[in-house]
Amino acid sequence: MRRSPEATRPGVSALLLTALLALTACASPGGATAAWAEGLDPVSTPDWAQDMARFDAEDAAHPPPSAPVVFTGSSSVRMWETLARDFPEVPVLNRGFGGSQVRDAVWHADSVALRYRPRQIVLYAGDNDTAEGRTPRQVLDDTRRFVARVHAALPGTPVVLLGIKPSPSRAGLLPVQRETNRLLADWAGSQARVRYVDVFNPMLDADGRPREALFLADRLHMNADGYALWRELIRPVLVR
């Protein structure tokens, strides 16, 4: 990912300040905390403020399309440079911020999705979470919070959850990724406006190992073939 844990882990005071500011932002006038924020851990790093400022600058320089399908999440989204060409039939907007976790998407949901009043949101997150030791249940709970925040602000907006991809560099995490994806798929199946897309199994070879041919030399991020596969998996669920 773009930022290594060692390079970005903030001090305790910075995390506490970020958490306080975020909690203040989500409090109602009466002092109550928004339901989606209850139990939510602080952002993984306050450095995301730089990415949010970059999105502001991009919007000012190039106004985003009206009612886009917003793709957000970690570097698998951020590095999808052919996104608009891959889905010419719908207006799309890339708001990925590499290295992020699900909780970061929750805290920054307004900057990466809500303010665009999207017709649909596609989220890819959880990859970094499990790599940093967060459990399948934590990823599910944070994902539920993300959807709750979206639906509190924009009722009826459909959300697509992409399963965690199996990458060669994180092959040791395959059991955790499988369990996380199972929880996400089961939960999404019980929701009216949430869909789960399995990118995990199509990216495995006949022996159940991540397909090396879909990845860059770092064995973590996808190459053009990997994104071509994702394109075909995601296209059927997009809102035209």
> Stretch 83-110: mean pLDDT, rounded?
98
Beta bridge partners of 27: 33
- Residue-wise pLDDT for 165-203, tens only, equals 999 999 999 999 999 999 999 999 999 999 999 999 999
* Share above pLDDT 90 across residues of the chain, in percent, rounded to a whole number: 85
Termini Cα distance of the chain = 31
pLDDT at 126 over 90: yes
Residue type at 17? Answer: L
Give residue 33's pLDDT. Answer: 72
pLDDT at 136 over 50: yes
Ordered by start, the domain boundaries in the chain are 5-237
Mean pLDDT for the stretch of residues 94-100: 97
pLDDT of residue 6: 33
In the predicted structure, residue 206 carries a pLDDT above the cut 70: yes
Please check the confidence at residue 227 and state whether its pLDDT lies above 90: yes
**Amino acid identity of 204?**
L
For residue 26, what pLDDT band results from cuts at 50, 70 and 90? low
Strand ranges in 29-79 using DSSP code E only, listed in sequence order? 69-73
Looking at residue 200, what is its pLDDT?
98
Please state, in angstroms and rounded to a whole number, the distance separating the CA atoms of residues 202 and 231: 12
The pLDDT score that the predictor gives to residue 177 is 98
Instruction: Out of 19-23, 156-160, 207-211, 231-235, pick the least confident.
Output: 19-23
Structure-token pair, residue 57: 């600058």
Residue 1 clears pLDDT 60, i.e. is over it: no
Report the Cα 78 to chain-centroid distance in Å: 10
Per CATH, the homologous superfamily of domain 5-237 is SGNH hydrolase (3.40.50.1110)
pLDDT reading at 211 higher than 90: yes
The string of pLDDT tens digits covering residues 34-91 is 989 999 999 999 999 999 999 999 999 999 999 999 999 999 999 999 999 999 999 9
Is residue 41 within 8 Å of residue 60, measured between CB atoms?
no
Please, what is the angle between helix 174-189 and helix 136-153, to 10°?
A: 40
- Distance from the Cα of residue 180 to its chain's centroid: 14
Mean pLDDT, the chain, whole residue set: 90
Look at the chain and count its residues. 240
Q: Which pLDDT value is given to residue 81?
A: 97
